[in-house]
Structure 1
């Protein structure tokens, strides 16, 4: 008679007193934002606002050092599924509700009423007026508040990632890259353009992600308000990056050159979303939904862009480009083709990429938008899978099936299945973050930009250590 197997669960390690204090500083900073939102005294609200940002910054960076900087370097995934904050517990749900609520209020309840009043976020927005005036020569608005919070999240959680992955040169450089592009190209440079009375242009975003950059109306606006030199350069930059640089760079480096090094959406996912990367669904059903959603979204924005240009060229019938009244508030007073772009912006640009894409980090992982909705990711993925030299090679002889690689994959790829068979990973969804390779204790996975010939063939390399394990 055999004894029954006893299943034990490793207890969650207790939180140390210094860690509790540092997290309390972060919590105090977040709570301090509440009186800012309701304080009628502008000077006092502004003081509280910057005190809150200071506490959140100091607490986050201090906690990151205490949590990761004092211990030996390496990827540790202890008790991620047992913690309330990272295992879809009550704290995770609360975080998701707060993030989702913030996006809803920002998008649909914080528009300027014409007198500088931004609704529920009014005090928070005007607390940033001195910063906005210094950078952009104009008062703050809801999008400047959003950009400030977004950039601060990338920088602070980027600092956490630098401590956590300090043993990996690839991760350090990649993290520094997304921090640089978010701060410089997505926050400071657009603000400086506004200060010089030029269009607020984001040089790190391209069509089809920034879908309106190649719409006829936006092109006309850039050429008119950007001036004869800068406006032409902006239009030229957007077109070249979308149709020339993107295929060339993806051919040599895969989609990682953009999704994991440049893109602001990816930058937030890789920094603020890092604690939730293990939550991505690895099932085949999730992969089917990925294919069903992301490629039709890409096709839709290509279709809308083509229709807009055909309409601008006078090819389409007049009724298709003439504004019409409709019972639908979202498209009333627009032409059918403009209505399509408005619908896309509302459902995909706002609800999917913002409310769901970020608000669901604590429940579905950090790359929900990138995996299921981003048209740029779909475009890059098609190039990567069929025309790129990029792949992740594996050495099945050394794999010990620990599952670390699959656990850290935010794109829902079951990397372990490839590693066990020694098959290279050539997937359209892979963003080349390299965390699977960083987390592997045996060096089984390697990011390569080799020749296209043989990129689908399994590696035949078996080391002496592997032979000892096998034999």
Structure 2
């Protein structure tokens, strides 16, 4: 009964959240243009937007479309003039739309925040917490028949919503301006200003990890490893990735996610980032040195002792969202040999792309030339990587495809940092998952719930250690094994069982 009530509250809050896109009227004025654009843009903007000035729009979509069309026309003119510093960015367009908003949502942001986010969180917790009365662990109770967890209508609907959300977030934040306004009260409490699209996204991201993290802990509460690991994920996302950068920004310091590193943080060596760090004085130089030392020194040392799990399953925000919000979809990962072949070429191809792009960016930064080796345009490399990998792959596909391809699509097929960590783990690491084939009953729980597409059961049946570059050491295969066949261990590299015996006989394993 409590769970049904929680589901009803969550659905109602989510419906209201979507419905806020239809709230507010929008009126563009000269005062708004003066406050939100550069002085040298004002005359041209007033001419371009003259038909819109003081006109009352009742639709966010209609107003945002007209603003977008106007700024696109101006940007084309600036391209022709090579006046790229005058071009309108998505964040500027979003600020104009927010400033033009009028109506109930604008005047009652606190109430609407409570009725949407607050009630959604409350409903989700009512739905999740009663599961603690059930026995812990996996029960194989029809996940492949659940319409949300097996590429059926509900899962496709969730995936479609996530894909559309990410497209708007990256390429048209003005179309979800009302959602950004909903978190203005939180933003003002933390940093004193209105929410940007990235603050709104960070808030949604963090809340998802926290709420679904509680669900994850309840589900796997029989495993101390899973409890501690999930608490680590929740801490790093909330404190290090979300709150700390806002505090840095409030103190007029360069803001940074201290756990994020190149090549996952592909823009680390972009000129504006380097200039900002250098201009930040001692603290900025510290962040620059910290960022370089983390992937040059920290990664090899930590992976040698603990495998890539220290980052991918304990620290990383992408992995944290996949483990918590994406946990219901982990069984959808493709275990086929064909998928594994695609995975190897794709993820290492992205790593190579990231390296070449970064070399080009640094070459331009130090030489002022925009052509690497005389013929490779470095700006094209940068924008192409940002669009294809930073936006489409990691965002739209990486999260939007949870209900379609499993929860680790980005980590498995696209993350260049995962590729870097995996190469070290495969050849020089103490981490492995040991198996006891004599105890395996071939239930298949381990393979079903492996989010990285590893056929764990095949290794277990052979008594062969699992030493795969893709394995993120989440430990769920061990947590769902009814016979204790699988164990996560750190031992000397020479003790790995890489070749299975020809015949397995009970206690000989």
Match in the other structure for 2:485: 444
CA distance in 1 between partners of 2:365 and 2:2 (Å): 62
Give 3-state SS (helix, strand or coil) of 1:400's partner.
coil
Q: Deviations over 1:315-339 (max 9, x none)?
A: x8x46179x9xxxxxxxxxx92022
| 1:253 and 2:332 matched | no
The SS at the match of 2:108 is: helix
Q: 2:80 maps to what in 1?
A: none
Deviation at 1:229, TM superposition (A): 1.5
Distance in 1 between residues matched to 2:294 and 2:480, nearest whole Å: 33
Task: Give how far 1:96 is off.
Answer: 0.5
User: Shift in Å at residue 196 of structure 1?
Assistant: 1.2
Q: How does 1:74-223 map to 2 (within 5 A)?
A: 74-110=137-173, 119-223=174-278
Contact 1:26 1:57 in 2 (8 A): yes
1:60 to 103, 116, 124: 124
Structure 2 distance, partners of 1:34, 1:73, is 34
Q: Work out which of the residue numbers 13, 35, 45 in structure 2 matches 1:29.
A: 13
Could you say which residue in structure 2 is the equivalent of 1:8?
A: none
Rounded to whole Å, the distance in 2 between the matches of 1:82 and 1:169 is 30
How far off is 1:163 after superposition? 0.7
CA distance in 2, matches of 1:28, 1:436: 36
Matched, 1:394 2:435: yes
Deviation at 1:44, TM superposition (A): 3.2
Superposed displacement of residue 145, structure 1 = 0.7
Q: Give distance in 1, aligned partners of 2:504 and 2:346.
A: 42
Pair 58,459 (structure 1): closer, same or farther in 2 beyond 3 Å: farther
Give 1:379's aligned residue.
420
Gaps of 5+ in 1: 1-16, 111-118, 325-334
Conservation of the 8 A alpha-carbon contact between 1:178 and 1:262: yes
Whole-angstrom distance in 1 between the partners of 2:461 and 2:297: 37
Q: Per the alignment, in what secondary structure is the counterpart of residue 222 of structure 2?
A: coil
TM-score for both structures, normalised by structure 2: 0.80
2:301 corresponds to 1:235: no
Q: Displacement, 1:18?
A: 3.4
- Asked if 1 retains the 8 angstrom alpha-carbon contact of 2:370 and 2:378, the reply is no
Output the CA distance in 1 between the equivalents of 2:234 and 2:461: 34
SS at match of 2:138: coil
Unpaired runs of 5+ residues, structure 2, are 25-103
**Worse-matched range after superposition: 344-353 or 212-221:** 212-221
Return closer, same or farther for 1:319/1:190 CA change in 2, 3 Å cut-off: closer
Query: Equivalents in 2 of 1:166, 1:458: separation in Å?
Result: 34
Q: Deviations over 1:344-379 (max 9, x none)?
A: 010100000000000010110000000000000000
TM-score, length-normalised on structure 1?
0.87
Who is 1:272 aligned against? 325
Shift of 1:139: 1.4
The answer (yes or no) to whether the contact 2:217–2:230 under 8 Å persists in 1 is yes
SS of 1:50's equivalent? helix
Q: Distance in 2 between matches of 1:88 and 1:280?
A: 12
Question: In 2, Cα distance between the equivalents of 1:237 and 1:159?
Answer: 32
**Contact 1:32/1:49, CA 8 A, preserved across alignment:** no
SS at match of 1:75: coil
Instruction: Render the CA deviation track for 1:285-326: whole Å, top value 9, x for unaligned.
Output: 000110121001101111111222233332x8x46179x9xx
- Equivalent residue, structure 2, for 1:292: 345
The aligned runs of 1:347-366 (5 Å cut-off) are 347-366=388-407
Contact 1:138 1:195 in 2 (8 A): no
Question: Matches of 1:207 and 1:447 in 2, distance apart?
Answer: 27
Residues 24-33 or 376-385, more deviating: 24-33
3-state secondary structure, aligned to 1:446: strand
How big is the shift at 1:148? 0.7
Q: 1:70 corresponds to which residue?
A: 133
Q: Which residue of 1 aligns with 2:4?
A: 20
Q: Deviations over 1:26-74 (max 9, x none)?
A: 11110121332222221335412322112211121221122x2001222
Shift of 1:463: 13
The 3-state SS of whatever aligns with 2:495 is coil
| Larger helix percent | 2
**Structure-2 separation of matches of 1:36 and 1:52:** 9
CA shift, 1:22, in A, is 1.7
1:458 deviates by 6.1
Distance 1:443 1:343, change over 3 A: same
Q: Distance in 2 between matches of 1:58 and 1:216?
A: 44
For residues 74 and 458 of structure 1, the distance between their equivalents in structure 2, rounded to whole angstroms, comes to 31
